[in-house]
Amino acid sequence: MRPLILFFSFALILGGCQRDKDDYVIGSVVEKGGCLADTYLVEIPGASTAKMPFLCEPAAPLSTLRNCGNSVFIRLPASLAIPGKEIRFVYAGTEPSCLSYSFAPQHITVKSLRAD
């Protein structure tokens, strides 16, 4: 009887735990840019607009190497604001942009930002 109670207690505890379902995005810091002083361009290799709502799906091929389909602007702390550094983050929201080009990368807010 005792092992049965322990088993059900353990199962109840595991069933009550919620796993973090945040999808991490991995990117590479490219250069300083964007609308704010601490904003950096981050390229997202292998980006998929189906999985990442902050990316756009250009109707035609674009002449710019980094655009809204594969890059974003993120506010980074000095420890992560190093060109070439790989970072990992969770998308939290989109900010207004000061850039006039309609296919410019979005300015986004992130959470759980860290080096990869």
Q: Give residue limits of the domains in the chain.
A: 20-115
Does domain 20-115 bear CATH number 2.40.50?
A: yes
Give the global pTM: 0.76
Run of H or E residues at 7: helix 2-16
Run of H or E residues at 60: none
From first to last of its 116 residues, the chain has per-residue pLDDT tens of: 676 676 666 666 666 655 556 789 999 999 999 999 999 999 998 876 667 888 888 766 766 788 888 899 999 999 999 999 999 999 999 998 888 888 889 999 999 999 98
Amino acid, res. 25: V
